[in-house]
A = this chain, B = another copy of it.
Amino acid sequence: MPTTARWAATLTLTATAVCGPLLGSAHAAPSLGPSGLYAPSALVLTMGHGNSAATVTPERAVTLNCAPTASGTHPAATQACAELRGAGGDLDALTVRDGAVCTKQFDPVVVTVDGVWQGKRVSYERTFANECVKNSYGMTVFTF
């Protein structure tokens, strides 16, 4: 192999090895099979300070796709999808973690989750006493 070809091969392999893991799931384009091989799971999660989604301005909003692969702007998409699957998609099943420590300060935050989970529409709202309490429920889903 001439030197230039070796260089080219080396650089290509390097790029693949370096980029492959980084590109990962975020670039796996979900596409429904001809007979609907999987049901779509795509959600938007928001959080804002206040008592009720009806009056709260969303301060943060992230997306979470769980089919066919995990992706989205949720900071822990893969773990959040696994957690939701483990809970059978039941957001109320995400309960406070053992050992979580938060103050009792009342500064309520509202989380909303809208979209589709395994082909079924989701429209969910839950209020926590403060942001620390929000993050103490479940492992990753509400931590964004």
Contact = CB atoms under 8 A, between A and B. Distances in A.
B44 A32 contact: no
Contacts of A115: 44, 46, 61, 63, 114-115
The binding surface of chain A is classed by DSSP as: mixed
A32 B30 CA distance: 27
Nearest to A114: B114
Nearest to A117: B61
A104 B41 CA distance: 31
A27 B114 CA distance: 22
Interface in A11-48: 11, 14-15, 18-19, 22-23, 26-27, 29-30, 32, 36, 40-44, 46
A65 interface: yes
